[in-house]
Structure 1
Amino acid sequence: MKHIEWKYQVGLHQLYTEGKTKLKILNNDYINLILFKQKKLIRFKSGNHSIIEANQRYPEFYKLELLDTYNYYNTFFEQSGIENNAKKTFTQDDLEALMFVYYNKKELREKLTTVKKFSARVFRNENSKYLENKPSLKNAVLQLLEVDEFPEKDPKNQQWRCVIDCDNPKVIALCENLDCLKVPVEYKKNNIELWYVGGNNTKPLLDIQKDKLQLPIYYFCDWDYAGLNIYSKVKEIFNKKDKEIEIIQPLVNAKRLPVGVKHHKSKWKKEDFSGLTKDNYSQDQIDLINQLISKNEWIEEESMDLIELILIK
């Protein structure tokens, strides 16, 4: 997924429909480095660098690579009532989170938690005060949820499951984090249905009926102690339902990070195999986990390509 903010996507769509744009789309690295310099699909208008034009190869590229994503964003604006303004200060992550809130508002509203916990869960790359410090974003979230304010205290029951449906699902990916669910276009195109139950909050899985467990199910998570420990809990739940679930294993060249990297809280335990259950893993997976433990490293979910890893199964 290319990270192209909405204001730049508007310009790319203008190039597709009108053949030119005055928006400063070259401020985006992907557009500047790939579309402009490498692929040469767009160029400055001769004698006027305030206008960017598309060449004859651009429409076909845009239709194949970017149009579905534009339509996804645009449909969100049209249906949600959020002002479609390319000058909005929403970041790419903000916009993806707003779309996730909109498409899952029923589940989120029924078990609404405090603004800080909501912020920490939905805006995962930010701290718990993120929404409080961005009033326009907070107001947009409240508008989408159709509520006046967040509750001052957490409700006792925060059990919910968010599902991104697709027309003809072939597999289910149960995600530890929300990121995949925020931009599900490519997953739908590849017949992957996405589930999220709130990280460590695995109890909603107990109530899933067997008729919803006919498809292969994969678990997608950070390869650190917290992610693998949650996987053990999830696997135990599905074992009781006589359903196999398989963890998505990183490629051998997957990027590894130090456990002590900023904002990462999960640490390996001093027990053998960090206290994890070896029976839940293949020998290759056991070897990888032991390597991570010995080097005090972890592999982040966001650094893995879920679609690629499912398709090679």
Structure 2
Amino acid sequence: MKANQNLVWRHYKALNELYTKGRTLAKITKNAYINAVLIKQKKLIKPKAGNIKILEAQPAFKAFYEKEFKTTYERFEKFLNDHNLNDDARQKYSAQDLLTLMFIAENRSTLKAGLTTIRKFSNLIFKGHGSKYLGQHPGLQLAVCKLLDITEFPEKDPKTLQWRLVVDCTAPRAVVLCENLDFLKVPWTARENQVELWYVGGNNTAIIDFISEDNLKLPIYYSCDWDHHGIRIYLMIKEKLKSKGCDLTLLFPENSDLRLPVVMPNHKSKWLHDKPFSGFKPELFTIEERKLIEELIQDDQWIEEESYELLGLLTYNKVLPWPGE
């Protein structure tokens, strides 16, 4: 499942109504994706003749919905119902909000045990939205508090933050260490492909000291932002795992053209232009890796881990499909 980030929960509800009933009164035509793709480009939805307030599904809509939206909607609906989250508030949830709430629910005991201030929590768990995001969305904040079974966030951070945030699977065939949380928010993708995920971002890298002997025997990969900070952490973890007798492989972006300027809101990692190769040792990288890093340094750009799709990333790097399958 890869949620459509252009849609919020009320859009998913309206599309499901079109699927189950063939029509809806929901006002969704102002959404850019629905208007441009579903109405104008694919012509899967159109206003009812004689009553433009009613939208009707066209014959090809059902198959498209089943392929693109049905699984996502059913996961979201089950989650909201199972956790009794308020109807009015959930209408405003974005797809990413819902995936994040699902992640919080799955990791509630770990997150609650190392609870940070609301701003630190928002910045880490709702990464990309900023530290004020959760505080600016009271309905979302109430849902988070309900899932964590707390009345409010603490005023101060704990002295140490070592969350063990992991997507376990019963018979892993590889381990992917992740700098960011996005892949962990869709755990079914990893589990369905027998891949275990570990979050090692920020100040959380010390948890790799506790990787089991069994997992150390598996191929271990690293997924990260391709910026100075991401590459530096990769090399640090690679050295730490080398001392344990195992190697760490850097996952190469499946689309290295998705580059962003280094100077942008909420991004603090900058290349060190006063040092050759940003201070890294070129011999620690493959020719392909070195070439990409050199280009990013030269153009003052970076590649965000959140732009990857786990299945595509593992396939591109020939981790999947497994040999013999």
Same fold (TM over 0.5): yes
> Counterparts in 2 of 1:276-295, with a 5 A limit?
276-295=280-299
Give SS of 2:55's match. strand
Q: 1:63: which partner in 2?
A: 66
Q: 1:62 to 1:247 in 2, by over 3 A?
A: same
Q: 1:109 to 1:139 in 2, by over 3 A?
A: same
Question: Aligned to 2:45, which of 42, 46, 57?
Answer: 42
Q: 1:169 to 1:208 in 2, by over 3 A?
A: closer
* Per-residue deviation, 1:272: 2.1
Q: Percent identity?
A: 44
Give SS of 2:134's match. coil
Give SS of 1:126's match. coil
Question: Aligned to 1:127, which of 130, 133, 136?
Answer: 130
Residue pair 2:130, 2:266 contacting (<8 A) in 1 also: no
Give SS of 1:132's match. helix
| Alpha-carbon displacement from aligned partner over 1:48-97 (angstroms, at most 9, x marks no partner) | 21111222222222222211111111121022221234763333433332
Q: 1:177: which partner in 2?
A: 180
Q: 2:239: which partner in 1?
A: 236
| Alpha-carbon displacement from aligned partner over 1:199-238 (angstroms, at most 9, x marks no partner) | 3420011111122345433222111001111111221232
- The amino acid across from 1:155 in the alignment is P
> Counterparts in 2 of 1:190-229, with a 5 A limit?
190-229=193-232
Q: 1:32 to 1:186 in 2, by over 3 A?
A: farther
Residue pair 1:162, 1:196 contacting (<8 A) in 2 also: yes
* Per-residue deviation, 1:177: 1.3
> Counterparts in 2 of 1:228-267, with a 5 A limit?
228-251=231-254, 253-267=256-270
Comparing 49-58 and 92-101, the one that deviates more: 92-101
Q: 1:237 to 1:143 in 2, by over 3 A?
A: same
- The amino acid across from 2:248 in the alignment is I
Q: 1:191 to 1:86 in 2, by over 3 A?
A: farther
Q: 1:132 to 1:234 in 2, by over 3 A?
A: same
Gaps of 5+ in 2: 319-325
- Cα RMSD between the aligned structures? 2.3
Q: 1:71 to 1:238 in 2, by over 3 A?
A: farther
Give SS of 2:56's match. strand
Question: Aligned to 1:100, which of 98, 103, 110?
Answer: 103
How many aligned residue pairs are there? Answer: 313
- The amino acid across from 1:254 in the alignment is D
Residue pair 1:210, 1:241 contacting (<8 A) in 2 also: no
Residue pair 1:258, 1:297 contacting (<8 A) in 2 also: yes
> Counterparts in 2 of 1:154-165, with a 5 A limit?
154-165=157-168
Residue pair 2:89, 2:139 contacting (<8 A) in 1 also: no
**How many angstroms apart in 2 are the aligned matches of 1:205 and 1:42?**
50
Gaps of 5+ in 1: none
Question: Aligned to 1:9, which of 2, 9, 12?
Answer: 12
Q: 1:211 to 1:111 in 2, by over 3 A?
A: same
What TM-score comes out, normalization by structure 1 length?
Answer: 0.90
Q: 1:169 to 1:154 in 2, by over 3 A?
A: same
